[in-house]
Every structure is written in C-alpha cells, then in structure tokens.
Amino acid sequence: MRTFVHGGAVWGVACPRRPSRVAGVTMAGFGVGDLDALRMVPHPAVTLLLDFGAGSPVIDCAAGRQQRGSMVAGPGLGSGGAVRARGENLQCVQVRLSPVIARAVLGTSPADLDGAVVSLADLWGREASQIREQLGDVSSWQDRFALTDALLARRHEAGPPVDPEVAWAWQRILSSRGRARVDGLAAEVGWSRKRLWSRFRSQLGLPPKRAVKLVRFDHAAHRLVAGEGAAQVAADAGYADQSHLHRDVMELTGATPATLADEPFLAVDDIAWPNRSTPTQPDAARDLRLDRRPEV
C-alpha cells in the first residue's frame, strides 16, 4: 500500500497485482482516516464502492440528498461540482466498470440509475451486506481484490451483454479519447441514428454525445493535473479553443481548469490507476478498421 498526502488528508492506496479477469473492470483500495468534502470529478465509468471499514463513506449530493455505505453511481458522477465525499476511518474497494459491462455486473442498466448515487443494497439485496462482511474478514488487500474480482466475474457471466454495435461505438469513442465524430457512429455500424442513440442510452446509461464529452474531458483533466498548459491541452484534446475547454470543465466540475489541476480526486489517479486503458495516441480511432465492426 502506498501513501498519498493531499492537504490534511493522508490516504493509503492499494492496487491489484493482477488485472481483472473481466475486461472493463479496474479497481483500487483506499484507507482514509479523515476525509473532508472531497469533490467528486466526473469519470466515464460506472463507479462501484464497496465499503467494509469501521466508518461509512457519505456522499453528499445536490438538493441535500445523501447516500451512505456501499453504493453505485452511473457515468459522470459529480457533474456540476455539487457532489462531495466525506467520512472517517474509511476502508473501501472502489471499482470502475466500463459502461459496456455494467449492466451485466449490476443486474440493471446504468440508465436506471438516472444519474443518482444508489445504495448497493437496493440493487443486490443481502449480497451487498455479505460482500461487506467477506471483505472485512480477509486481512490483505490482494485477497480483497481477488474476492471482489470473483464476485464481479460471476455476476458478469450471468448477466446480459450489450448489443455488439453499442459496444463497438463505445470503444470507438474511448479509443479516440472523445474525438470520434458522433454523427458518423451510426453509419459506421450500419444502424439508423435514432436506433443507435436509443440503444446506447438505454444500455450504457448516457447518450453518445455525452459519452464523447466525458471521455474527452477525462483525458484533458489528467493532462492538466500533469502540469500541461490549458491552451496546449485544449488544442491536443480536440476542443475548439481554450474557451471551449474552460466551459466544459466549469460545466462538469464547477471549477476552472487551473483549480481542477489540484483536485485530489484526480491527483490520486496515477497511484490508484497507474495504467489507465486510454490509448497512447490521440488519433487511435483512425486506426480502427471498418471491417472489424459488428455484423448487423
């Protein structure tokens, strides 16, 4: 376990030694003695939080709503900058699920979450309390990761897959780092625009245009955290100009690009998720061959 210090908070951060057996699953372990109002920054994944410590995480959402304990949230959690996490003596496994596999793992479409943070017990019933007990009973983080991975693999195998056309469109967006032409996705899979938009939204929990915005923002945000200038990030990430980047960052986080660069939620990522799955070349989507698209 590594230590991450930001302001007055000291975090213990653990990473699995092996990748998940399920493609689209990444996870990290966190132990925090005193977490005070951590701003949640939107991410293009479904977030699954499995707590087992002496304390319980609290998510403060807009309009005074709260969620405690193990929970799940759809892609884009934290949009607008109104969502904060806090708590004392926290221990948890945080899982990021690709929207493509989230429906199978969760047992419900991310669209049914409707942008809210939902108690895991509401989705999984007694299984949510059972996994909490099991995580608390084992003594090492690697055992906790293995236990979590076995649970996710079992649920994924039993759950329904998304349409291959939807999965292909998501991968196109992801591999291009949000620079794919949304209007061209339907033509590339041989569907009507209306059909792709409807299936994409119902199965992944967000429309293609929103997916593009989140993926592009996530790439830009991590480059800002790495110390790159906003003008260069805007140009390389596919924004029309620096003002466009500024507007998107404000819309998604309620912060300016300069402020966002110091957010601990993002700063800890290079420790917790050192091998993010985004491609190394910004224009990787250009290399996708059309004869790889799914048959219709």
Name the residue type at position 296. V
- Gap between the Cα atoms of 190 and 24, Å rounded: 25
CB burial of residue 227 (10 Å; 0-12, 13-18, 19+):
exposed
154 and 170 in a single domain? The answer is: no
Mean pLDDT of 13-36: 94
CA 276-278-281 angle, to 5 degrees, is: 130
Contact in structure between 204 and 166 (CB atoms under 8 Å): yes
Indicate if the pLDDT at residue 287 is higher than 50.
no
Helix, strand or coil, per DSSP, at residue 48: strand
Q: What is the pLDDT of residues 210-258, one digit of tens each?
A: 999 999 999 999 999 999 999 999 999 999 999 999 999 999 999 999 9
H or E element at residue 171:
helix 164-175
41 and 179 in a single domain? The answer is: no
CATH number for position 126: 2.60.120.10
Last residue of a domain, one of 104, 126, 158: 158
80 and 187 in a single domain? The answer is: no
Q: Give the chain's domain count.
A: 2
168 and 114 in a single domain? The answer is: no
Last residue of a domain, one of 158, 193, 228: 158
27 and 77 in a single domain? The answer is: yes
Indicate if the pLDDT at residue 20 is higher than 90.
yes
CA 217-223-227 angle, to 5 degrees, is: 140
Q: What is the pLDDT of residues 37-61, one digit of tens each?
A: 888 999 999 999 999 988 889 999 8
